[in-house]
Amino acid sequence: MIISTSIFFFLIYISLYLYTVQEEHHFYKTTYNQYDKEVKSLFTLNSKTPTATIVDVTYWDELVLFTQTKDEKWYDKYILREFQSYEADYIGVYGLDQKLINKTASSKIKSLDFISKGMMSVLYKSKLKKFFIKIPEGIVEVFGATIHPSSDPKKNKTKPSGYFFMARLLDESFLNTLGNISSSKVYLASDDYEITNEDDFVIVGLDLKDWKNEVVVKLLFKRPFNLNYTNTKEILFIVVLVSLINIFVYVYCTKRWVYNPLKLIKSILETGNASSINSLKRSDGEFGYIGNLFEENSNQRKQLEIAKQKAEESDTLKSSFLANLSHEIRTPMNAIMGFSDLLHDTNIEEEERLEYLKIIKNSGGSLVSIIEDLIEMSKIDAKQIMPNYKGLDIEKCITELYDSIKVTIPKDKEIQFYILENPDKLQNNILTDETKLKQIIVNLITNALKFTDRGFVAFGYSINKEKEVLEFKIEDSGVGISENYLKVIFDRFRRIEGDGSIELSGLGLGLSITKAYVKMLGGEIKVSSTTGLGSIFSFTIPLKFDQTVKVIKPKKVKSFYRNYDNEIILIAEDDTINFLLLKKIIESKNHTVLRAKNGQEAVSICTENPNISLVFMDIKMPVLDGYQAYEKIKVIKPELPVIAQTAYSSFEDKEKMIQFGFMDCITKPLDKEKVFELLDTVFMESINKF
């Protein structure tokens, strides 16, 4: 074993020595390549600001006018006065006749005119060019661009009105700045200078070319290269010698104190053998401690894997929920904010004002519905919720969707929007989730309108009696979808990219949400499209008829035998805006309103005022919440009706409030008609008690 070990170490030394020599060359080459990329990137980055400046300046209407008027006052005001902000040593404006109109130069440059007419002829075609020129003062970097009006930022609609040049001198200050940034020594060399490698330095050269693409001068970057492999080679000899001496000592100790415990560890890692863990625990020193750790690790591994999986699922659901929320609320918010802004116009007709208010109200309802749907979506991902199936008149649903979407189509789009005719119409209500179905159709129609500028967008349904499904179809004559995107169009965060949709925005969640809703309703969705001709989205849902027997409820008579105006009603609400809204609604019925800003105030007011007929109790309040305040009020006044008002809108939350003892509950945003209905119900019951 000793002989084998000695031979082994000798071979290692030879290998390391050869490897060191190879690495020395390789490292120098790698360093040189990296340094070369760094220098080129630095020099390119150094030119980006002047390039951006000259591009910005040369599509300027006033500069176009200056090339015609040659107004020196304008030049002094807008060019000469702002000369320092250009960070250049020379600025020159030339007319289309290639004659100098005006120029400005710093004290560094004394030459009058070093821009050749041949350069301007080249620039006339290229629009923008950077090159280098040798002048008596040294080498200058020149940026040239043709002048165009601001309506032509790409400079391809109009002919040049003149030429604009910026130049900066590559003087010692410029070279020192580059040197400080790159930790190098930077200097200029002749165009035929040959770069030779040096042991302690890395040298990289850049060819600076004129407008004819001929090398004017070389810019050299020189950085110390301090890696010395000689010491490494000497250390290798010492390591080999010491290793040979110590190997004899280590053989015995290693076998007893290291090899055997490591063998046990190997067995544990491969098989998780419990007996090997027990044997390792009996070892001396750190290996015994490692044995205890293996035992603890074995017990905790499964728990950690379960916790990790739950954490990943939680993070995924959170991210998905927030992304969906941001995507979906923008459409109704746009309508709310836009039409609210239009209402500030005092000249609008009353009919228009009412129409705007109607749209704002509908959009507000849509916003609430979307938020609730997105919450349901996150619960569906977690398999915590099922669809809410109810009876639905599909014909009425289609008509309502058509009427609500038609008014949102931009007037600048030449689109025919219509319903696909279906001779076999359903006469009975179907059983499905109305909210989800509407959201699916709205998402697909909105998507079609988004990608269609002219032509048509149509939607409708048909009955497939053989498969017992309803087939919905949304057609458009828009830009279409390429075959590559058809494969991923329903994936989350994917949007169609390309010339036809370059100005469209969105997170790419609409179709993925739509697909999730379709699956949740038990159907399938598919798409067919031809680029340039349009797309057809179709989906199915099971055809199930609503068998629920409708119970005709007698209409409540809202005229009572006594006047219940001017009842005293307490509103427990900490938010001032919500209080004012509910106060205005209640006062419109000639009732008196009291306010409590927290749960404790509500209890105190009910104790001190025996004439309170009704309490609207906010659930989330300071000091005492709605539940705590309700318990105390019921001890004082068991017969006093208390209605909960809350922002929690789920079915479970409402059930919890009713079971707790509240007479009823209303959710925010408040519905005026719902409040009126509750008032009628409360005071009707009060009348019936007498």
Percent of the chain scoring above 90 in pLDDT: 26
pLDDT tens digits, residue range 503-523?
444 445 577 778 888 988 899
Q: Is the pLDDT of residue 1 over 80?
A: no
Tell me the average pLDDT of the chain. Answer: 82
Tell me the pLDDT band of 614, cut-offs 50, 70 and 90: very high
Which pairing describes strands 664-667 and 469-476: parallel, antiparallel, or unpaired? Answer: unpaired
Give the least confident one: 242-256, 516-530, 566-580: 242-256
Q: How far is CA 207 from the centre of its chain?
A: 43
* Alpha-carbon span 218 to 304, nearest angstrom: 61
- CB-CB contact of 561 with 539 (8 Å): no
pLDDT for the residue numbered 556: 42
Q: H-helix or E-strand containing 299?
A: helix 286-328
**pTM score, two decimals?**
0.38
Give the least confident one: 130-139, 171-180, 311-320, 623-632: 311-320
Secondary structure of 123-188 in HEC code, one letter for each residue: HHHHCEEEEEEEECCEEEEEEEEECECCCCCCCCCCCCCEEEEEEEECCHHHHHHHHHHHCCEEEE
Give the least confident one: 240-244, 407-411, 549-553, 562-566: 549-553
Tell me the pLDDT band of 379, cut-offs 50, 70 and 90: low
Tell me the pLDDT band of 553, cut-offs 50, 70 and 90: very low
The residue among 236 and 428 whose pLDDT is bigger is 428
* Alpha-carbon span 595 to 416, nearest angstrom: 53
Which pairing describes strands 664-667 and 642-646: parallel, antiparallel, or unpaired? Answer: parallel
The residue among 217 and 316 whose pLDDT is bigger is 217
pLDDT tens digits, residue range 186-195?
989 888 888 8
Q: Is the pLDDT of residue 449 over 80?
A: yes
pLDDT for the residue numbered 227: 62
pLDDT tens digits, residue range 128-141?
999 999 999 999 99
Q: Is the pLDDT of residue 558 over 50?
A: no
* Alpha-carbon span 624 to 128, nearest angstrom: 71
Q: Enter the tokens of residue 36.
A: 């070369």
Mean pLDDT of 146-155: 88
DSSP label at residue 491: S
3-state DSSP assignment of residue 400: helix
Give the least confident one: 12-16, 90-94, 388-392, 686-690: 686-690
pLDDT for the residue numbered 31: 83
Q: Is the pLDDT of residue 339 over 50?
A: yes
Give the least confident one: 8-12, 319-323, 405-409, 662-666: 319-323
pLDDT tens digits, residue range 163-213?
999 999 998 988 998 889 888 899 898 888 888 877 778 889 899 999 999
pLDDT for the residue numbered 462: 92
Give the residue ranges of DSSP H helices in 329-381.
Answer: 330-342, 350-381
Question: How many angstroms separate the most distant Cα atoms in the chain?
Answer: 116
Give the least confident one: 29-33, 301-305, 438-442: 301-305
Tell me the pLDDT band of 541, cut-offs 50, 70 and 90: very high
The residue among 166 and 683 whose pLDDT is bigger is 166
pLDDT for the residue numbered 483: 81
pLDDT tens digits, residue range 482-493?
887 787 777 755
Tell me the pLDDT band of 551, cut-offs 50, 70 and 90: low
Strand ranges of the sheet holding 592-596, from the earlier edge strand across to the other edge: 592-596, 568-572, 612-618, 642-646, 664-667
B/e letters for 531-563, b = 16+ CB within 10 Å, e = fewer, are eeebbebbbbbebeebeeeeeeeeeeeeeeeee
pLDDT for the residue numbered 465: 86
pLDDT for the residue numbered 142: 94
Q: Is the pLDDT of residue 688 over 60?
A: no
